[in-house]
Chains A and B, each alone.
Chain A
Amino acid sequence: MFEFLTSFSPAFILIAAGVLAGFIPSSSISSHLRKVLLVGAPALALVLINTIYFSQNESTYLGGSMSFANIELTTLRIDSLSIIWGYIFCVAGILNGIFALHEKCKITDTSALIYTGAGIGAVFAGDLITLFIFWEILALSSVFIVWRGGPKSYPAGMRYLAMHILSGVLLLAGLVIYGRATGSYAFNNIGIDAPGGWLILLAFGIKAGFPFLHNWMQDAYPRSSVTGTVILSVFTTKLAIYTLARGYAGTEILIYIGAVMTVFPVFFAVLENDLRKVLSYSLNNQLGYMVCGIGIGTQLALNGAAAHMVVHILYKSLLFMSMGAVLHRVGTIKASELGGLFRSMPYTAVFCIIGAAAISAVPFFSGFVAKSMILAAVFEGGYFVVFAMLLFASAGVLEHSGIKVPYFTFFAHDSGKRVKEAPWNMLAAMGITAFLCIYLAIPGPYGGMQYLYNLLPSEVAGAAKFNPYTASHVIFQMQLIMAAMFAFALLKRYGLYPAERRAQILDFDWTYRRLGLALVKWVSAIWTRLGAFATYKLKNFFSNIGRRMYQVFSPAGTFSQDAPSGIAAVMISGMLVAVLLVVYFL
């Protein structure tokens, strides 16, 4: 049995579990079975991945071969790069399942399982066609999670779907060009110089939230349900990071794209009042660090990107979970409506603060041991301006995720809202995630840092030698954090910190939600008028022809009128002359 289960991608187990969950009736007892699947299927996948990878001696395991249109597909490739993504996706699937235990929603459970399976399947795809198939399943399954946010999420879901279908189309076009030119669909290093390379990069860039392609994230994620946002925050973007690391490591343009990604969301996050939207911008900012590391492409940078991906999934999930718990209890997540909730939800507050400390890279929290690898790689690569941008963005992260989210939710002024603490399952999921956020940052034989570093993709020696706990690193990181906190306290004390206000903040999506829509309406109106004008002109034209024909051929027309025989004779003679001339000259 176990041998059979290890003969194909664990993704299929999750997808099958998702389909099965869809057929389980909605009764109370059956919903428990669905929850068993929701937590058990990712756990089983984790065991299978581990067993497959460590039961053989090769550094790369290839399996799950299939033939499709005379093309050999490899649906299961486990190597040093994909294994770390596989592990954390399974762990995130388990944590998401625990967080969603209170929710009796068949669609969310089904979509979450298929979505998780598609993410794992894409990570273990050995060829571009398998990647494309899981890429599309990922998009289609996740949009249902967006739509579970209620009627207000439908338009956002449609835009989300449009962007991801576009990403799929670009990937398909790119892989066809690439496959025909190279004769291989294997998913290895592609590079922008390869045929179709730019198309594939653009496809990955949409999912990774490149600048101007990022709005689907801030549009859809905050509109999903309490549990939906937590699930969505894990897979799509981190899969994109994996594909970039696999196909475009060392591509220099990614360094600058990543640097811009770290900086611009900081300004939007400080303006936003919706705290899940703040976290979505924060997600975009954190992806920038990873993209930057992939662009550097050295062993240290790639390890940094992978480590950052792992810790980021954990602390960003934790932050989304805590905000989800607040939304679940209070009914709003607007910063202007919250405050003082530590009185009612002390455990959630502690977990949120741990997430905030982790994302702010406070020593002995997980962000510290990962982000520093990317910063070190950028500095060693001689990209000093990019290094300065990343440092600036670090202060920005502290603003929106480190201070703004916990402060305006749990402290600040007392909103007077007195609610229950989060349900036990939410607390359990947050507790485990918070534990991992600390454990993975603890050095030494009893800490988890060694396990994290040993999982990193590039030569392990490079990662193992990296020590984030040097005196200078700890001191200067603490300098940055303390100074930023002091700036916050100072600005707050002197009333220079802007009050949270309800508003719609315009971002690049204005170009298609307003400008593009207005353009389409204008073109449509012009088209309608042109159509009406053309119809009027054509009608006139045919009407004139008809009238003229009538004037000539009708019983009252010219040809029916009596005419003197002399005129007829002249006309016939003229025609005879014309015929003779034609015959003579031709």
Chain B
Amino acid sequence: MSDNNKPTLTPQEIVDRAEAHPAAVPFLWLGSKQTQRNFIYIPLAGMIIFSILGFLYPPKYPTLWESGLRYAAIGFFSYSFVVLMARPLFKLLSRPENYYGEDGEDSEDGEDDIEPVDGEGDNV
């Protein structure tokens, strides 16, 4: 058997394609672990490029200190601060989900006079 007859898709990929919406099939690579792992290089490259451009075009509204990287620094540190604060805040503020005795599962219950049209509402 020649190499041309070898299947190019793994069984998992075949299942994924069969289950996916037709419009999503060309973009299934977005869900791969490799894509997610390498995603970091896009914002890194963008940050470097726009930081270099920042030295060439001084801002109209400068921040409190002078540097071509200032907005990049604000973005990076502000974002990191917000995310890193999540763990201590979660410990401080989180309680069991039914703490107030009101919350349950998400549902569209209560919409009792809603009639599904064209077979909607069924999970494929």
Known contacts A102-B117, A489-B43; is-contact A270 B86 (Cβ 8 Å): yes
Q: Is B103's CB under 8 angstroms from A340's CB?
A: no
Contacts of A477 in B (CB 8 A): 71
Contacts of A514 in B (CB 8 A): 100
- Please, how many angstroms separate the alpha-carbon atoms of A244 and B71 in the complex? 31
Q: Is A327's CB under 8 angstroms from B83's CB?
A: no
The reply to whether the CB of A257 lies closer than 8 angstroms to some CB of chain B is: no
**From A267, A332, A471, A504, contact of B85 by CB (8 A):** A267
- Please, how many angstroms separate the alpha-carbon atoms of A484 and B75 in the complex? 5
Interface 9-mer from A83-91, A115-123, A308-316, A411-419:
A411-419
The reply to whether the CB of B73 lies closer than 8 angstroms to some CB of chain A is: yes
Q: Is A155's CB under 8 angstroms from B102's CB?
A: yes
Q: How many residues of A contact B (CB 8 A)?
A: 94
Q: Is A479's CB under 8 angstroms from B89's CB?
A: no
**From B51, B63, B97, B108, contact of A225 by CB (8 A):** B108
Q: How many A-B residue pairs have CB under 8 A?
A: 253
- Please, how many angstroms separate the alpha-carbon atoms of A573 and B115 in the complex? 100
Q: Is A271's CB under 8 angstroms from B76's CB?
A: no
The reply to whether the CB of B109 lies closer than 8 angstroms to some CB of chain A is: yes
| Secondary structure class of chain A's binding surface, majority of residues | helix
Among A487-545, those with CB < 8 Å from B are 487-491, 493, 496-498, 501-507, 513-514
Contacts of B97 in A (CB 8 A): 502-504
**From A156, A271, A419, A493, contact of B40 by CB (8 A):** A493
Q: Is B123's CB under 8 angstroms from A329's CB?
A: yes
Contacts of A472 in B (CB 8 A): 57-60
Known contacts A476-B59, A480-B74; is-contact A487 B89 (Cβ 8 Å): no
Contacts of A149 in B (CB 8 A): 110
Query: In the complex, what residue of chain A is closest to B60 when comparing beta carbons?
Result: A472
The reply to whether the CB of A246 lies closer than 8 angstroms to some CB of chain B is: no
The reply to whether the CB of A454 lies closer than 8 angstroms to some CB of chain B is: no
The reply to whether the CB of A42 lies closer than 8 angstroms to some CB of chain B is: no
Known contacts A472-B57, A472-B60; is-contact A395 B110 (Cβ 8 Å): no
- Please, how many angstroms separate the alpha-carbon atoms of A486 and B75 in the complex? 9
Known contacts A375-B61, A472-B57; is-contact A104 B115 (Cβ 8 Å): yes
The reply to whether the CB of B7 lies closer than 8 angstroms to some CB of chain A is: no
Q: List 6 A-B contacts (CB under 8 A).
A: A399-B79, A418-B19, A483-B72, A498-B86, A501-B90, A503-B96
Nearest first, the 3 closest Cβ-Cβ pairs linking A and B are A150-B110, A483-B75, A395-B78
Known: A332-B106, A475-B59, A487-B75. 12 other contacts (CB 8 A): A105-B111, A267-B82, A270-B82, A343-B31, A391-B63, A396-B79, A418-B124, A420-B120, A472-B58, A479-B50, A480-B72, A483-B74
**Chain A residues within CB distance 8 Å of chain B:** 26, 28, 102-106, 108, 147-153, 155-156, 225-226, 266-267, 270-271, 274, 327-334, 340, 342-347, 375-376, 379, 384, 387-388, 391-392, 394-396, 398-399, 411, 414, 417-421, 423, 470-473, 475-491, 493, 496-498, 501-507, 513-514
